[in-house]
Structure 1
């Protein structure tokens, strides 16, 4: 629990430093516009991707490679809705196909490990 508090404290400090730096560099209104647009885009993505992903998982459908892209887009939407420049950048990174190709094997291993502990799903990569 102490580690979790330390991670959030470090994240908050880094985010504050980035905000101050960007405030000095581009100003208040562009920074506010970036945050509003990223949150609006994240909410839009949740509406488009989130419902489909949740229905597929609840119906017990296979999490195949094309659905792993949907999982990446879901996390991207989550990072977009969390206020912060760093989370917005992480959300943008999840759009890049090269980054998703690096993440897909890790997601597959994590889903496979979760499936051994609970419901048996078939994961194909």
Structure 2
């Protein structure tokens, strides 16, 4: 998915999700009544926040245990991201978003989604930082072993000594 495709999808979701939520409110309200529908939404939000609190703390504890063992807590990080997403969905008023949020609070669902997201990220993402680049493609070419030796440059004129450069900001150098 590229950025040109993602913006219309987000816009469409911002239009369709509220319409679907309104339709669901009307349908459920017609089926069980207005007051029970509001009580259901509030009850699901409270249940979701309680589950979010308990599962979030458990995930944080598991991540700390993994780091204590010297392991990267990849599964715990993806779990945590899905728990945060579930919390956002649970706080959003609506029955459909509550149902999706509750679904994300099921550990088996989170693990399956986490594996799928990790698999997708390894094949489609390229990480680059300041002067360094890393991707998740594995290289299986030959390994060439050797020795490296640091070579220090020798000063070739009188201005090469430390603190005697052309900058007035470094070590009392000359200003012209």
Task: Spell out, residue by residue over 1:70-115, the C-alpha distance to the aligned partner (whole angstroms, 9 max, x if none).
Answer: 3222221111111111111101111223322320123324666778
Q: Which has the higher helix share?
A: 1
Instruction: Tell whether 2:127 aligns with 1:116.
Output: yes
TM-score of the pair, normalised by structure 2: 0.50
Aligned length: 114
TM-score of the pair, normalised by structure 1: 0.67
Consecutive unaligned residues of structure 1, counting only runs of 5 or more, are 121-125
Contact 2:48 2:102 in 1 (8 A): no
Contact 1:76 1:95 in 2 (8 A): yes
Instruction: Tell whether 2:47 aligns with 1:37.
Output: no
Q: Which has the higher strand share?
A: 2
Larger Rg: 2
Instruction: Tell whether 2:91 aligns with 1:77.
Output: no
Specify which structure has the bigger relative contact order, considering alpha-carbon pairs within 8 angstroms and separated by 6 or more residues: 1
Instruction: Tell whether 2:102 aligns with 1:92.
Output: yes
Post-superposition, which runs of at least 4 consecutive aligned residues in structure 1 deviate over 6 A? none
Instruction: Tell whether 2:27 aligns with 1:21.
Output: yes
